Structure 1
């Protein structure tokens, strides 16, 4: 405890800003259109996320693509930490029935950027998700 107090005083005295903790990606997140909610959690040493709510439109789109049980679907899988606030893994796109290489970046405590790429990263799209 004494060492922590000394370290904080030295940081304040030297004008060196204290390191800010990285916000957690764990929780419930909403996509930009507000059509799904995904709960992210630790899956062993990795990060994953399942759909916990879907709008009627999202449910209909998924059924049209052959996904009859959208709630519970693992949307985010096998994400490994690659740096402070960054993970790489696979994102599942239900209406295409495919998984894509993906990154997650914690933008701030209430915002994630999820990016997905095809063709070895030549074509990428991203979405900003908000914490619910």
Structure 2
């Protein structure tokens, strides 16, 4: 069973991955990083499993703790905490099959960055 969010749970069970399933292994567009996304307590964690050598400010084992809840097919809004940088982001994750887009914003949404991801095995 997979549950998303920290106060309102969206849970489902079953072995087949749905089109909007966020869990699994993902590669960042451009090839700089790979992450494993899975439940960690009441939240979801994205843990770096591989970082391209020479990539600044990233390391294997670094993680992002996401408090997100699926609100419609493939869309997960919420917040994320980056313990390495001690930052909290407003976050939106959209999953469409084997493609994922993340958009994180800080400073009341003034500074935002989007990243494209591809599901890997």
Task: Check whether TM > 0.5.
Answer: yes
Mapping of 1:99-114 within 5 angstroms? 99=87, 100-106=89-95, 108-114=96-102
Greater helix share, structure number = 1
- How does the TM-score come out when normalised to structure 2? 0.70
Give the 3 Å change call, closer, same or farther, for CA 40–73 of structure 1 in structure 2.
same
Displaced runs of 4+ in structure 1, greater than 4 A?
Answer: none
- Higher RCO (C-alpha 8 Å, min separation 6): 2
Matched-pair contact (CA < 8 Å) for 1:52–1:71: yes
Greater strand share, structure number = 2
| TM-align CA RMSD | 2.2
Which residue does the alignment assign to 1:56?
53
- How does the TM-score come out when normalised to structure 1? 0.65
Give the 3 Å change call, closer, same or farther, for CA 91–32 of structure 1 in structure 2.
farther
Unaligned segments of structure 2, at least 5 residues: 1-17
The structure with the larger Rg is: 1
Give aligned pairs, total.
100
